[in-house]
Structures are given as C-alpha cells and as structure tokens.
Amino acid sequence: MALDYPITRSFPGKWFSLAAYIGAFIVLVFLTTVNVALTGYDTITVFQSDYNVTQTHWYQHYIPSLVPKAGTLCDSRVFNLGDTFTTNYTLFRYTVSSVVNANAGDSGISYKGRTLEHCDITSLYVHGDVNAFTLDYTAVVTCRSEAYEFSARTDFSLSSLAGKYNQLLGVERSLKNREEGVFNKTRDSRGVVLDAVASLSSRDVAARIFTLAQATNGSALSVISLRADFPFCPAALGPVAGCAVRVPQFNISSSFVSYSNLTFQQYFANEPLTDSNQPVITNTTYGVLANVIQTMYASVRVDLGNPSKNNFLLNPAAVPATIAATFPAIPGVYDTSDEYANLVGTSVNPDFNITGLLPLTTTGAAQLDVVYLCRFQQRKAPAQAFIAVLVATLSMFGSGWAAFLVLAAKIVKKRNGGANRCGEHTTELSHEKVAFIDR
C-alpha cells in the first residue's frame, strides 16, 4: 500500500494568515499565563491559626476565578471527647466532656474558627476540704448552636499547700511580664486580676470556715461541697438581654457538708424537703460561698469574651450588687470580705495588687485557640516551573491550533466548493513538456 499525502492550498484572503499568526501569539501568551498559575506552583501544607486565611498571587488580578475564598484553604479541627482546648484569651484549659449534637461523625465537633458567642458557663462545682487546705473548682461551659452542641469542663484548684500547683493557665505569663516590665495592660491584666480575685475569694472562704471551726466545739465544718447552676446567657443574646444586665443569678442545686464529729448532711434542690433533705448552706456560709461562685462565674465569662454589663470584672460599678462586703457577724469569726475591699479600693493586699487594672476589657467573643493544617501554593524551582509551563502550554496550543486549521478549512470549503481541489486535467501539453519530449 503506497503512502500518500494531502494536497494543500493557501487560505484565501490577503490578511488571513497575518491575523491567524497574531491571534496565535495572543493565545500563546494567555495560555502561558494560565499555565504559570496552574502548573508553576506546588501545593504545600502549612500551619495557621486563622481558619479563614487566604493567599494572594499576582495572577489573581488577571484570573479572578483563581482567588481562594475564605475558609477553603484549611482543614477544620475536629474535637472528640476528652480533647482539650483553650480560647484565644488563654485563661483556662477546657476538656470536652459531652457531645449532645455532633457535626463530625458520631461524636466529633468540627470547628472552623467560629466565635463562641453561643457558649456560656452553666454549672460550677466547688469542693473545699479543710484538712487538705484546698478548694477545688470545676466549671462547665455549654455551647449550643445550629451546627453543634457540646459541653466542656475546666478544673483548677487553689490551695495553701506549697506542693500544690495553683496558678491558672493565663496567670504565669501575665505575672512574668509584669515583673519584667513588658506588661500589656489589655492582655496581661486579665490574668493578674483573675488570679487575684480567685485567690482573695478563696481565702475569704478558708478564713470564714477556719474561724467558724475555732468558734465551735466539736461541730466544725471539715468538708463543704456544692453545685451551682446558672441560666444559659451567651453573648449571642445581646448586651441588653435581661440576664446580661441584672445581677447574675444562680441556684445551688445540690450541696454536702461534713463535720469534724464525723456527721454529714446533704441537700438536693430537685427533691422534696424531708428530715434528711434540708438546705445545708446556711446564712453563716452562704455569703462567702456566693462571693466565690460569682467570682468564678465572672472569670470564666471573661475567658469566653462575653461583654455582659453585669460582669463586675468588666464593669466595677456592679461590684456592690454582686459581691458581699461583709458576712453575718459571729463573735470571733471572720466577717469582712478581703476581695470586696480590694475591688473597691478601700484596702490593697500587697500580694494581689490590682490597682488600676479594672475594668478588664474583652476584644469580642472568644475563639478556640487552635492550629489548622492549610494548603498553600509555593512557586516551583525555576527549571521545574519552565518545563511544567512549557509542556502544558505546547500541548494546549498544539491541540487548539490543529482544531483551528480544521475548522477554517471546513469554512473555506463550504464557501467555495472548488477549494483545495486539483484543477481539471487537459490533454494539451505544456511548452515545457513538448520541449522535453522533442529532446
């Protein structure tokens, strides 16, 4: 079988070829630009603290469709039961304790940088052991939104024992910065103030109970344990919501006390009153315990970035209505709140000097302080980029150029039926052929 080849003719038209070459050059430049964007970069993984981070490149001004949208470069962070986290205020460390409505699998919480405006402290557990010289606290924070619902707990202790670590998470940095003269009032004052009010309110509880023990014979408190519940009042309700402006309310739903004579009493608010179910938090201890409950409530809400006006740490004018200045007088028993005196400035405890640090400020609803795995574009090495762009551009241009020629030929044939066809054969010999035969 013999090989053959197509017969070709030039396209008609004086300017067709010039226009085709100019158009091909423009297309070639465009394809080169596109392929620099598509093949001239490698995808790398980087760590970022902002889920909505974006990346800007020069070619995005010419190809807007390649501009990444916020939240498309990073993977969400998934929290499971038992995982820990902090907010961007970094005052407490939380542990996921329950998941009611998961949005990642059966029991996971997928977090994509949303603010915690739907979160609030809902319960506080207080356990004091006179013999251990320690007050233990557990605060439960609940988050409820359309996307998820879960609870997290933060645990901390305040003790007189030298061998027990007491500092809150965000306190050590604040105290160190204060000592080194690099104190940032907006940021670091939160840790200093929270350490002071938590310590002062806890000391008030200890002083009240110890002096009560000295004033009684054989019936001194040795253990006091309670749970206080709060109405759900997240920042999403707004600054004028009733629960955000009136004095914070709480309900002691359960309590337990034991005495040095080995007797004990307990109370459950949801059960009927009986001889064995009577309130055990009496007037002698209620005021000092209410102070510590209000203090921990206000502290956790600062860590959540809740700007409610009834938080006495954000609005010192709320101190008199929230914190008791004195407790019921009993001869020989501690009855003046050191916390209140330091908050209003009538006295200054040199160990917990908060002069000039109130009111605290919040910079908006808190976010979880997490690190995300993100995909960024990084320019290839020059030689690699050149080869990648060259191969991609030539393959795309070659295919397009061939398609253009086929289409143009079809158009010409349609308009001129004799195009690209040999002329009719004739029996007349040309002068050149006659001369050749004669020789």
Mean pLDDT of 211-232: 86
- pLDDT for residue 217: 66
SS (H, E, C) 55-112: CCCHHHHCCHHHCCCCCCCECCEEECCCCEECECCCCCCEEEEEEEECCECCCEEEEC
Higher-scoring residue by pLDDT: 307, 405: 307
Phi first, then psi, for residue 424 (nearest 5°) are -70, 140
In angstroms, the CA 187 to CA 377 distance is: 34
Whether the CB-CB separation of 389 and 29 falls below 8 Å is answered with no
Q: 67 pLDDT band (50/70/90 cuts)? A: confident
Instruction: Name the one residue in this structure whose structure tokens are 């949303």.
Output: 114
- pLDDT for residue 53: 92
Domain boundaries, the chain: 127-135+161-366
Mean pLDDT of 281-286: 92
Instruction: Name the one residue in this structure whose structure tokens are 């027990």.
Output: 164
In angstroms, the CA 21 to CA 26 distance is: 9
Helix (H) or strand (E) holding 264: strand 264-268
Q: 431 pLDDT band (50/70/90 cuts)? A: low
State the helix-helix crossing angle for 283-303 and 185-215, rounded to 10 degrees: 160
- pLDDT for residue 218: 53
pLDDT at 361 over 80: yes
- pLDDT for residue 136: 94
pLDDT at 166 over 90: no
What is the value of pTM for the model shown?
A: 0.82
In angstroms, the CA 398 to CA 414 distance is: 25
pLDDT at 432 over 60: no
Residue 53, helix vs strand vs coil? coil
Q: 222 pLDDT band (50/70/90 cuts)? A: confident
In angstroms, the CA 338 to CA 354 distance is: 13
Residue 25 CA: distances (Å) to CA of 18, 189, 332, 403: 11, 64, 98, 16
- pLDDT for residue 428: 52
